[in-house]
Amino acid sequence: MRISELAQASGVAVATIKYYLREGLLPAGRATSATQAAYDDSHLQRLRLVRSLVEVGGLPLAKVRAVLDVLEDPGPDPYAAVASALAALPPYVSNEPPHRRATEALDAIGLAHEPDSPAVAQLEAALVGLEAAGRPLDAGALGRYAEQIAVIAQREVASVERDRDSAAPDQLADVVQDVVLGTILVEPVLLALRRLTHAALFRERHPQADGG
Using CB under 8 A, which residues numbered 125 to 144 contact a copy of itself?
125-130, 132-135, 137, 142, 144
Name which position in 4, 154, 162, 171 contacts a copy of itself (CB under 8 A): 154
| By the rule CB under 8 A, 68 interacts with a copy of itself | no
Under DSSP, the state recorded for 133 is T
Least Å distance between CB 34 and a copy of itself?
32
Counting residues that bind a copy of itself (by CB under 8 A) gives 87
CB of 20 closer than 8 Å to CB of 50: yes
| By the rule CB under 8 A, 66 interacts with a copy of itself | no
Residues 82-121 that bind a copy of itself (CB under 8 A): 82-84, 86, 91, 102, 106, 111-114, 117-120
| By the rule CB under 8 A, 167 interacts with a copy of itself | no
| By the rule CB under 8 A, 195 interacts with a copy of itself | yes
Q: What is the DSSP string of 12-81?
A: --HHHHHHHHHHTSS---EESSSS-EE--HHHHHHHHHHHIIIIIT---HHHHHHHHHHHH---S-HHHH
CB of 71 closer than 8 Å to CB of 180: yes
